[in-house]
């Protein structure tokens, strides 16, 4: 399951999409809207995507993960439009034979998504808004575009 959706994401649907009888775990990751950025109150986020390329990229990331970790099954859904504080903007589910490859594949898919998939994020504050880009590497804070 690879999709871009305008409505809240149901993590249970992704879990069911990836679970197989040879799996010993399902790792479900949810990226959710945080209520502050550098001390400013964030009211909501808004996402947009270049859908044809974003879907192709997500499929390529899934295929890469499933090839790298045998037995793993990946599903990724990203939300577009307005996402309120506390709601999920992205859900990644990974079914895996064992937890090491489950955690590793989950992390790999998220970092690859953040690095290259053509999805853009606008933070909306009480007093304005800003487009935010993902920092290079895995632990940096977002930066202004």
CB 35 within 8 A of CB 124: no
Burial 28-65 (b: 16+ CB within 10 A, else e): bbebebeeeeeeeebbbbbbebeeeebbebbeebbeeb
CA-closest candidate to residue 66, choices 31, 100, 109, 27: 109
Closer residue to another protein, CB minimum distance, 88 or 96? 88
Q: How far is the CB of 21 from another protein (least distance, A)?
A: 31
Find the largest Cα–Cα distance for the chain.
51
Comparison of 23 and 116: residue with beta carbon closer to another protein: 116
Place of tokens 């999920």: 88
With respect to another protein, which residue has the nearer C-beta, 20 or 135? 135
Q: Which residues form the interface with another protein (CB under 8 A)?
A: 31, 47-50, 52-54, 56, 78, 89-90, 110, 113-122, 131-134, 142, 145
Tell me how far, at minimum, the Cβ of 34 lies from another protein, in Å.
12
Query: In whole angstroms, how close is the CB of 44 to another protein at the nearest point?
Result: 14
Taking the alpha carbons of 35, 108, 10, 95 in that order, is the dihedral positive or negative? negative
Nearer to another protein, 19 or 107 (CB): 107
CB of 117 to another protein, least distance (A): 5
């Amino acid at each position: 399951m690879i999709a871009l959706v305008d409505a809240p994401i149901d993590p249970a649907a992704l879990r069911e999409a990836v679970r197989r009888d040879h799996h010993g775990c399902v790792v479900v990751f949810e990226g959710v809207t945080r209520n502050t950025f550098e001390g400013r109150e964030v009211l909501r986020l808004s996402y947009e995507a270049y859908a044809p390329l974003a879907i192709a990229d997500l499929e390529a990331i899934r295929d890469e993960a499933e090839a790298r970790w045998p037995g793993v099954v990946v599903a990724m859904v990203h939300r577009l439009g307005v996402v309120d504080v506390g709601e999920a903007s992205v859900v990644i589910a990974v079914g895996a034979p064992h937890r090491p490859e489950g955690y590793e594949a989950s992390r790999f898919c998220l970092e690859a998504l953040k690095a290259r998939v053509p999805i853009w994020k606008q933070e909306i504050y009480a007093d304005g808004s800003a487009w935010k880009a993902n920092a290079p590497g895995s632990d940096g804070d977002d930066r202004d575009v």
